[in-house]
Chain A
Amino acid sequence: MGFVGYNRKIIWHMSKIHPVLAKEMRAHPNRRIDVLVTLKEGEDPASLHLNFYKVLMDNVLSSTLDVEEIVELSKDDQVVSIEKDAEIGIL
């Protein structure tokens, strides 16, 4: 699915996608991106059916997804937010 051709429903779900990640998706629509996924409290990460993920905290996990997978994931009601696994540095 091309990121450019999203419909209104997708736009609604896009609110779960962090602006920095959305910018990355637009800039690199064919690239796989390291992401952080936050679930609602008590939800089971396994139910997301991701091919690869790592649970960081009970409701925060990391994964590497392409743009299409990110958009699909954002439609899941268990998902609260999807963000880029951003680089952080010393201050």
Chain B
Amino acid sequence: MEADNVPAKDDVLHFENLGISTIELSADEAAKLSQKEEVLAVEEDFEMFALRTNESDEVQFDELFINSESEFPEPPVSDDGVYKTGYNQALLDLFASILNANAQNGTQGNEPLLSPIVPRFPLQPIYPIPFPKLPDLIIRRQPIPWNISLVKAPTAWARGIDGAGVKVAILDTGITSHPDLQVAGGASFIPGSSSYNDLHGHGTHCAGIVAARNNFIGVVGVAPKASLYAVKVLGDNGSGNSSWIIAGMEWCIANGIKVASMSLGGTNDPSLAYANAVKRCQDHGVTVVIASGNSYGSSFPWVCAPANSVIAGQANASPIAVGAVDSQSAIAGFSSRGGRNSVWNQVTCVAPGVSVNSTHLSSAYRAMSGTSMACPHVAGLAALIIQRYPGITPANVKRRITTTSTDLGARGNDITYGFGLINCDLATR
């Protein structure tokens, strides 16, 4: 039907693309209109209803969308069956049209143009149309480990400070593939091995504390959007030579790393080689964060090498040395202390390091303890600060960390807690 021929009435509704118009007419008007040559058909505008299938299918439907049948309103089918009648009439018309079309076009031996359409189930209309109830939504949230909450990292994330774009290197046993980690690259300094894959688990654990992804699974790191780099400087037995570690530090300089997280050490006096390496790193914009050691209670209870590195008058030669606290912010019994020699680098600050859950081998998670676990919290914080203040020097990263830490133990900087527990929120404001 051509739209131009539709009588002009206020209540006409014309669907141009379909060539169909709706209009309210009397029976006589409809009869006259149907005689017009340009009109293909005049049909009553039937009321249509949503369909429901028989009970067997209804159960499946219910299982998908509703909790109980009682949540469906009873279809108000009237006793006189007016809805059923209308619907049945529509179906009969449809079948008649199909059969008619087949009779006209389904010539000798040819397949009919339209196959008979037979509804599989008795159909009945319902009204009003029930809006399917969606299954109860499972709100998936990233579990926030206690250690991440304790250092107030989520508050920094809420302000968009999540470490994005900051390169953090984990100098350790490597990093293994894990669904909660995204490793951007790395290198191995283990003689005879070019792979930075972790077969020990320690490096992977530390990596998760820095930057496990904020992805609804497992754990999340302090700086979940930081770029992780695996610098394998310790063998799969968990130990390595200082020369491997210093070579790894040089790699950090050459590859634009902004934070070097080093959860390693030995009960040695300060090393000038390490002090030079730390200084060179920090002179080139690499903030060096090192675990203070787990030797408290041993014959060497002081801050271990290389965390104790120092060169008189060269502040950049000393790294951020990190001690460990538990979930109550109490110092861990094993956490090495300052005090042997006031010239040595002392404990700078503390972070969670007792029963810290993080990523491990075989896509698993494991709780581990040590200043090794505390160190990557501070490395993650350094990444947050660098994102917040691009171009900040390592000396100023350290200053922001120490001046914003929550004082613990003896008032002010002390040999046990240093400047206290790190605070990611304050440090990134």
Residues of A within 8 A of B (CB): 18-20, 34, 36-38, 54, 56-60, 62, 80-81, 83, 85-91
Binary CB contact string for chain B from 147 to 188 against chain A (1 if under 8 A, 0 otherwise): 000000000000000000000000011000000000000000
B273 touches A38 (CB 8 A): yes
Q: A25 → chain B, closest Cβ, in Å? A: 16
Task: List 28 interface pairs A-B (beta carbons < 8 Å), by A numbering.
Answer: A18-B271, A36-B242, A38-B273, A56-B243, A56-B246, A56-B250, A56-B277, A57-B246, A57-B276, A57-B277, A58-B280, A59-B280, A60-B273, A60-B276, A83-B271, A86-B268, A86-B305, A87-B241, A87-B266, A88-B234, A88-B241, A88-B265, A89-B265, A90-B173, A90-B370, A91-B263, A91-B372, A91-B375
Which residues of chain A are within 8 angstroms of B371 by Cβ–Cβ distance?
91
Q: Given A56-B246, A57-B249 in contact, is the A89-B273 Cβ separation under 8 Å?
A: no
Q: Does B304 contact A (CB under 8 A)?
A: yes
Which residues of chain B are within 8 angstroms of A58 by Cβ–Cβ distance?
280
Which residues of chain A are within 8 angstroms of B351 by Cβ–Cβ distance?
none
Q: Secondary structure of the B side of the interface?
A: mixed
Binary CB contact string for chain B from 360 to 376 against chain A (1 if under 8 A, 0 otherwise): 00000000001110010
A88 touches B243 (CB 8 A): no
Q: Does B409 contact A (CB under 8 A)?
A: no
A59 touches B276 (CB 8 A): yes
Which residues of chain A are within 8 angstroms of B145 by Cβ–Cβ distance?
none
In chain B, residues 323-358, which have Cβ atoms closer than 8 Å to a Cβ of chain A?
none
Q: Does B207 contact A (CB under 8 A)?
A: no
Which A residue's beta carbon lies closest to that of B280? Answer: A57
Which A residue's beta carbon lies closest to that of B291? Answer: A91
Query: Complex Cα distance A58/B305, Å?
Result: 21
Binary CB contact string for chain B from 200 to 232 against chain A (1 if under 8 A, 0 otherwise): 101000000000000000000000000000000
Q: Given A60-B277, A87-B266, A91-B264 in contact, is the A38-B272 Cβ separation under 8 Å?
A: yes
Which A residue's beta carbon lies closest to that of B292? Answer: A91
Q: Does B31 contact A (CB under 8 A)?
A: no
Which residues of chain A are within 8 angstroms of B200 by Cβ–Cβ distance?
90
Query: Complex Cα distance A77/B75, Å?
Result: 100
Which A residue's beta carbon lies closest to that of B247? Answer: A56
B266 touches A88 (CB 8 A): yes
Which residues of chain B are within 8 angstroms of A81 by Cβ–Cβ distance?
272-273
Residues of B within 8 A of A (CB): 172-173, 200, 202, 234, 238-243, 245-247, 249-250, 263-266, 268-269, 271-273, 276-277, 280, 291, 293-294, 304-306, 370-372, 375
Which residues of chain B are within 8 angstroms of A36 by Cβ–Cβ distance?
242-243, 246, 271, 273
A34 touches B238 (CB 8 A): no
Q: A23 → chain B, closest Cβ, in Å? A: 11
Which residues of chain B are within 8 angstroms of A37 by Cβ–Cβ distance?
273
Query: Complex Cα distance A71/B250, Å?
Result: 27
Query: Complex Cα distance A91/B376, Å?
Result: 12
B243 touches A90 (CB 8 A): no
Which A residue's beta carbon lies closest to that of B250? Answer: A57
Which residues of chain B are within 8 angstroms of A83 by Cβ–Cβ distance?
242, 271-273
**B239: contacting residue among A57, A59, A88, CB under 8 A:** A88
Q: B338 → chain A, closest Cβ, in Å? A: 16
Query: Complex Cα distance A19/B267, Å?
Result: 13
Which residues of chain A are within 8 angstroms of B241 by Cβ–Cβ distance?
34, 85-88
Which residues of chain B are within 8 angstroms of A38 by Cβ–Cβ distance?
272-273, 276
Q: Given A54-B243, A57-B250, A85-B241 in contact, is the A90-B273 Cβ separation under 8 Å?
A: no
Q: Given A81-B272, A83-B271, A86-B268 in contact, is the A91-B239 Cβ separation under 8 Å?
A: no
